[in-house]
Structure 1
Amino acid sequence: MQVVQFIADYGPWSWIVAGLILLALELVVPGGFLLWMGVSGLIVGLLTLFQPIGWPLQWLIFGALSLVTIFLWTRWSRGRETANDSPYLNRRADRYTGQEAVLEQPIAGGFGRIVLGDSVWRVAGPDLPVGARVRIVGSDGAVLKVEPIS
């Protein structure tokens, strides 16, 4: 009941102060949720500053605004693509897709080896002799999938 009494005593300024506190907490505890709750608190404070509203309706507006803004923010932030300067970091095999190489060991029984840069890679594909040119078409873990170049 102290919160209700505080809101009743200070009216819109309590919402504005609470909104600013939530915005400041967002700097300490990042995640985005406190940001939108703080914005909702500021909006309720500004709304009650110009139009007197009872405290139950103030809480309803604050809750609804918080839910809507958080929902919209999560939908927007999950839908956008993040820029990455190293898209193949921790996916080394994927960076070789589309490249051509020469077999160092024949593919026999479905597996052989190629050299790419300073690494020796295990490859999977149809049986081919040493020196055959292959194109990397994908990967399965640390095994590169290849097909012969005709």
Structure 2
Amino acid sequence: MELFAQAAAYGPWAWIVGGLILLGLELVVPGGFLVWLGIAGILTGLLTLVQPLAWPVQWLVFGTLALGSILVWTRLARHRRLASAAPELNQRTDRLIGQEAVLASPIVNGFGRMPVGDTIWRVSGPDLMAGQRVRITGADGAVLRVEPVEESLP
């Protein structure tokens, strides 16, 4: 209770200092949400400097600002897509789409095998003979979807 009495004695400055402490904690404990709590604390302190408010109203203002800012932040962050230098880094099959290779074994009943790079992949597609040149068109998990490549005459 002494902590609350001391904070009440400092009034708006307690909110501002508390907000700055929360902003500082964000540097130590990253996660993004302490920034918004810190900003809400600072805004509550500034509002209380301009218009004196009772403690329950100050807590209500702080809670409303904190909740509102976190909701806005999560909504904006959800729609933001980070640009990457390697967007297919952990999506190995996506990097293979469009490549051509030769079937090592025939595709029978929709499935066969073929080497791509240093890996033998399971493939799915129309029934084809071994040695047929195919193009990778997609993937279902670790199974590559292929289609035959039409050889063009010169």
TM score, norm. by length of structure 2: 0.87
Q: Which residue of 1 is the match for residue 29 of structure 2?
A: 29
Task: Look up the match of 1:10.
Answer: 10
The aligned counterpart of 2:145 is 145
Unaligned segments of structure 1, at least 5 residues:
none
The residue type paired with residue 107 of structure 1 is I
Matched to 1:138, the amino acid is G
- Cα offsets for 1:51-84 (capped at 9, x unmatched): 2222111111111000000111111111100222
Q: Which residue matches 2:89?
A: 89
Provide the aligned C-alpha RMSD in A. 1.6
The corresponding residue for 1:75 is 75
* Structure 1, 22-31 or 109-118: larger mean CA deviation: 109-118
Percent of aligned pairs with the same amino acid: 61
Offset at 1:3?
4.2
AA matched with 1:7? A
Q: Map 1:123-142 onto structure 2 (within 5 A).
A: 123-142=123-142
1 CA distance for matches of 2:109 and 2:101? 19
Q: Answer with 12-21 or 112-121: which moved more.
A: 112-121
Tell me which residue corresponds to 1:58.
58
> Where does the alignment leave 5 or more consecutive residues of structure 2 unmatched?
none
More strand by share: 1
TM-score between both structures, scaled by the size of structure 1: 0.90
Deviating beyond 6 angstroms after TM superposition, the runs of 4 or more aligned structure 1 residues are none
Cα distance, 1:5 vs. partner?
A: 1.7
Tell me how far 1:109 sits from its aligned partner. Answer: 2.9
